[in-house]
Amino acid sequence: KKQKFIMKTQSQPLEARRSANYRPSLWEHENLLLLGNKYAKEDKIERAKLLKQEVSRMLDETEGLLEQLELVDNLQRLGISYHFEREIKKILTNVHVRHVGHRKRVDRKRSEDLYATALKFRLLRQHGFNIAQDVFGCFFGDGLDDEDIKSVLSLYEASYLSTRFDTKLKKTIYYTTTRLKKFVEMKNNETTSYVRKMVIRALEMPYHRRVRRLEARWYIDVYGETHDTNPNLLELAKLDFNFVQVIHQDELKSLSRRDEETAQMKARMDSQQVRLDSLEDLLDVMAVGNPVMQRMLSERRAALGLPMKARMDSQQVRLDSLEDLLDVMAVGNPTMQRMLSERRAALGLPVRDPEESDPNRQQPSNPTNYFEDM
C-alpha cells in the first residue's frame, strides 16, 4: 500500500502555484523617507500668510448676520477656522448678545428666515453658547416651508445638536430626514449640484459627527462649485491642507526612523548576546580538567551576579513590606480581603493571613535566591 501510494503521488504532475503579485508595501521605511510635498516652499508659505491677513480683514469687515454666519461656517468646513479663533469668537459673541437682546423684546417679530436661524443655532451651540430651541418657535408646524431645501438641510444639521430637553427640535429629525430623502430621490430637480451633494453627504452622517480633517478635504472640492465661491478662502484651504499634510509626513518619517533605529539596536544587542554566550561556552570547554580556570570563572560570574542579586533582593523586601501593609489595611474589610485574594490568585501568589502581617518588616523572612538554577 505504501509503495502504491508513492507511485501514485509521483505520477501526479506538480502544479505551479500562482503568484498573487502583490505590490510592495508603501509603509516600508525607505518609501516613507521618499515622501515629499511641493507646497512646502518659501513662496507658498508667504502666499498663505498674505491670504490669512486678507481673510482676517474680511472677518472684521463683513456685515450682516447671515453673511457673518456663512463665512464662519465655510471657514470651519474648509478646515482653516483654527487660524481665526479670535475673530470667530468675537463674531459669535456679538451674535449671541444680539440674540439675547432680541429675546427680551416682548414685541419681537420674525426677523430671520429658517436657514439663518438654524445656522445661528448650530454655530452657537458648537462653540458653547447657551441658546434654546425657542428660536425655532415660529417655524415648527405650519411655519415650515418644505420646498426650501437649503433651510430644511440647515434645520436637519441643527437638530442633531439638540439635547434631551429639546423635545420639539428632536421631533424635526424624522421630518427633515424624510423630506431630504424625497429630494434626493427626485430625478429632475432644478437645484444646483452643490446643494444636492450637501444633502446626500448630510444624510450619510451629520457634519458635527464627522472627522473634521477628512471633511475639509471633501468640502474643498465641493466649495468650488458654489456660485459665490470666495477664491481667497479656497486657495488658503488648499495651501493649509497641504501644509498640515507635510507636518503629518514629517511625524510619520520620525516615527518610522525611530522604529528602524530600535530594530537595529535590538539586532545588535541580540548579536552581542550570541557572541557572549558562545564565548562563555568556549571558556567552559577550555576549563574542563583545569581547576584553577574553573575557580576563576566561578569567581568572575559570582562577582558579576552579586549587584543584580542585591537589587532584586531589595525589590523583594519592598514588595513584601507593601503586601504586609495591604493585609493590615484589609483587616475587618471583607471586600478588600476578597480583592487581595483574587489578585494574588491571579498572580499565582500564596494566600496570606492578614492577622499575621507585619507592616514594619525590614528584611524578607525567606529571601529568594534568583540564581539557584543558573
CA–CA separation, 196 and 190 (whole Å): 10
CA–CA separation, 294 and 300 (whole Å): 10
Once rounded to an integer, what is the mean pLDDT over residues 183-209?
Answer: 82
pLDDT, greater one: 203 or 12: 203
Q: What is the pLDDT of residues 121-171, one digit of tens each?
A: 999 999 989 888 878 776 665 445 566 888 889 999 999 988 888 888 888
Contact between 77 and 216 (Cβ < 8 Å): yes
Question: What does residue 176 show for φ and ψ, rounded to 5 degrees?
Answer: -65, -35
Residues 103-108: contacts with CB within 8 Å, 24+ apart? Answer: 103/134
Q: Quick check: 25 pLDDT over 90?
A: no
The amino acid at residue 237 is A
Question: pTM to 2 decimals?
Answer: 0.65
101-105, 171-175, 294-298, 343-347: least confident range: 101-105
pLDDT, greater one: 308 or 270: 270
pLDDT, greater one: 68 or 320: 68
Residues 41-44: contacts with CB within 8 Å, 24+ apart? Answer: 44/239, 44/242, 44/243
CA–CA separation, 198 and 191 (whole Å): 11
Contact between 214 and 231 (Cβ < 8 Å): no
Cell of 216: 475639509
**Mean pLDDT, all residues of the chain:** 78
Sorted by sequence, the CB contacts under 8 Å of residue 99 that are 6+ apart come out as 120, 124, 131, 135
Contact between 111 and 117 (Cβ < 8 Å): no
CA–CA separation, 217 and 20 (whole Å): 33
Q: Where are the alpha helices (DSSP H) in 160-230?
A: 167-185, 193-204, 212-223
Position 109 scores a pLDDT of 44
How would residue 306 be classed by pLDDT, with cut points 50, 70 and 90? low
CA–CA separation, 25 and 337 (whole Å): 53
